[in-house]
Amino acid sequence: MYLVSEYTKTVYRYLAIFLIFCSIASCGETPTSHLSEQFPIIHSGPHDMEFAFIPKGTFRMGSPAGEEDREDNEHLHWVKLTEDYWMQTTEVTIGQWFGVMDNYPDNDCWKEAEVKKEHKYPVVCVSWNEVKEFINSLNKKERDKGYKYSLPTEAQWEYATRAYTETPYSIEGPLKSFAWYKSSSDGHTHPVGALKSNFFGLYDVHGNVFEWVSDWYGDYPRADFFSGAVKNPRGPDDGSHRALRGGSWFFGARSCRSGFRARGSTSSRGNIVGFRLLRTKI
């Protein structure tokens, strides 16, 4: 009789664990080609914008109960995104705003001395309503190219930010190596894409500026099991505030966590708030 060695048993055991993990983390839903082909980056977006491919998949949104600095609005739940999309690799810059709108924001916030006005810095002092005007203008100019631009949903933003991680931050190394936050920013924003990116090639998903998303702010749904994952959630049907994600140069490390949630009224502006775009095929 053939006897399986203990070494072979161990190999099979770890292989089984790996396959189970892949099924839970939706590894099978990502393309199976070379990594550079799985997650390509478009280098030809309008006004020097770049977009990274984000494959559809299922993940746990929110944060685990034991995470340090966790807040009550981060209920951990399963979410399934059924369509691939492209996420801008950086926050929209001042130069990109000017390229689309042919002007700079004109308000008291923009005139503050702390606001950096060079074209490689993220645009700030723009309300959610003004961002929608920007997106409408961009879509009119780009409608013949076969793509549509929008704000990501809160789920799309967190899925792309986490990039298959469930840790507080999606990038390894000291926080200052990938995030501009209170202890590292010297009290202002910084040029986009200057620090380390995450697995999908996204920069500044932790820190620099908070980012508007499309959802009204509200409680997360209860979806405690993989089989009951919420498909393509878009937040409440209405509300008084829109969700903000990602942390900023002004706040501490806790606000930079992947699961941290903030909010603002659609007309509010701040020198800590900007946005990045989502791109889909028409």
3-state secondary structure 126-138: CCHHHHHHHHHHH
Residues 77 and 129 in one domain: yes
Q: Are residue 56 and residue 8 in the same domain, yes or no? A: no
My answer on whether 12 and 73 are in the same domain is no
Domain range for 86 is 34-281
Q: How are strands ordered across the β-sheet holding 57-61?
A: 57-61, 77-81, 230-231
Same domain assignment for residues 90 and 156 = yes
Residue by residue, DSSP assigns the chain as -----HHHHHHHHHHHHHHHHHHHTTGGGS--S-HHHHS-EES--GGG--EEEE--EEEEES--TT-TT--TT---EEEEE-S-EEEESSPPBHHHHHHHHSS---STTTTSTT---STTSBP-S--HHHHHHHHHHHHHHHGGGTEEEEPPPHHHHHHHHHTT--SSSSS-S-GGGT-B-TTTSTTS---TT-S---TTS--SSSBSSEEEEEEEP-PPP---SGGGPEES----S--S-EEEES--TTS-GGGGSTT-EEEE-TT---TTEE---EEEE-
CB 264 within 8 Å of CB 245: no
**Residue 140's CATH number:** 3.90.1580.10
183 and 243 co-located in one domain = yes
Residue 15 and residue 71 in one domain? no
Tens digits of per-residue pLDDT, 222-280? 999 999 999 999 999 999 999 999 999 999 999 999 999 999 999 999 999 999 999 99
In angstroms, rounded to a whole number, what is the distance separating the alpha carbons of residues 203 and 29?
24
Taking 50 as the pLDDT cut, the residues of the chain under it are: 1-36
Tell me which residue has tokens 């700079």.
104
Same domain, 133 and 270: yes
The 10 Å Cβ neighbour count of residue 7 is 8
Give me the number of domains the chain comprises. Answer: 2
Q: Are 39 and 95 contained in the same domain?
A: yes
Looking at the structure, do residues 12 and 131 belong to the same domain, yes or no? no
The pLDDT score that the predictor gives to residue 37 is: 52
- Asked if 23 and 41 sit in the same domain, the reply is no
| pLDDT score for 42 | 84
Clarify whether residues 90 and 143 are in a common domain.
Answer: yes
pTM for this prediction? 0.87
Same-domain status, 84 and 172: yes
